[in-house]
Amino acid sequence: AAPRVLRAAEAWRGLIRGCPLRARPALAASFGNGAAAPLAQLASTFRGAGNPRVAKALLRLTADAVDSLAPHAPTPADGAALARWALSIARAHAASRAGFVAVAASARLREAEADDRERELRALVKLVARLASRAAVADSVVLETTAASSSESEEDASLSVFSAFEALLPLVTPEALSYPKLAQAYYGLLGDVLETWPERVPTLPAELGSALLTSLDAGAASSDHKSAGPCLEALGSLARWAASNATVQGPTAQGAQQLGSALASRFVGPLLSRLLLDGSTGGNGLSSGLSATVSRQATDAGADALLPLASAAPLAWREACDALVASVAASSGEGGEGQRAERLRAALAAFEAGA
């Protein structure tokens, strides 16, 4: 059965991609109004069978339907129906695959199987990214505009996209993020989500909030600038929201303050170390300017993230700076201790003055 489904999925992808523009409204309406239901049933069947190649093909087909058909939906209700169908597949798939990455990364399974499962997760990440991007665009016909006959409001639509992102978080483990292509896709999605819905982060359950921070840890420390740059941009978006909402009236302020303190305590020290000390408090002293091993995108994104972190949690910022100076002084050895620590203090003072 699996080979037939793979062939059918590729045939459907070819049909969708090659569909003339004048015919896409009718095809979009048919997808939203039940024609795609068998695809959802197939996705459910092969999720349960644990076939990552078929699952990946069906996820890619769903993503192509969103990309190629949603902009041509004849009515807002048709577009919303198509989006709900795609979101239901993404959420159900993510929920059914919890923990598979950690298992696939174990020594008990063949490397080829681990690669298949990575591709499956990457297809899921890309599907949610397409939906998140479309939901974030104000003039999107899929999610942001709904007809009176549709029961899903704009707020409901964005909550649906964010819930799909939440379902992804337990899957995006440090082991999964060791795959460069998957990491790059995930941090691109993370940037869209944290820029569009930062206010939802403080409301995440504790285990999902921890998973999010762990993924930010991995990206901020990555040597791959294609992952580190977008990750630090996402961190900056979250930090800016925390800084700008920490002093507002109402319950939002408490969440923003707690988030700002948590981010500053966790990321200020590592970011300063990476940008000013080439990622280490050891070595041969401060680099001239920022680290030459960090790409310009990651450097700029890291600096941009530090500014709102300093504003959102001044005490955590100062504690991290003092701890970094003390660590540098302790690791410098006699003779270089004073000079190296003073150079770091001067660099931090210059950074603060620029902020």
Say what the pLDDT of residue 306 is: 87
Report residue 294's pLDDT band, with 50, 70 and 90 as the boundaries.
low
pLDDT in tens, 33-55: 766 666 666 666 655 445 777 77
pTM of the predicted structure, to 2 decimals: 0.77
**pLDDT mean over 308-336:** 77
| pLDDT tens per residue, range 91-104 | 877 876 654 444 44
Per-residue pLDDT, 134: 75
From residue 96, give the alpha-carbon distance in Å to each of 224, 273, 295, 300, 328.
Answer: 30, 39, 37, 38, 47
For residue 193, is pLDDT > 90?
Answer: yes
- In 3D space, the residue among 101, 310, 267 whose CA is nearest the CA of residue 186 turns out to be 101
Taking Cα atoms as reference points, which of 121, 229, 95, 260 lies closest to residue 177?
121
User: Quick one: tokens of 105?
Assistant: 């990364």
Instruction: Label residue 238 by pLDDT band (50, 70, 90).
Output: very high
Q: What pLDDT is attached to residue 217? A: 93
Q: What is the pLDDT of residues 146-189, one digit of tens each?
A: 433 344 444 555 667 888 899 899 999 998 999 999 999 999 99
* Mean per-residue pLDDT, 194-222: 93
Alpha carbon distance 339, 175 (integer Å): 40
- Lowest pLDDT segment from 49-63, 202-216, 333-347: 333-347
- Per-residue CA distances from 48 to 29, 52, 97, 105, 325 (Å): 29, 10, 9, 20, 53
pLDDT of residue 120: 85
Q: How is residue 29 written in tokens? A: 């309406």
User: What per-residue confidence (pLDDT) applies to 346?
Assistant: 78
**pLDDT classification of 270: cutoffs 50, 70, 90:** confident
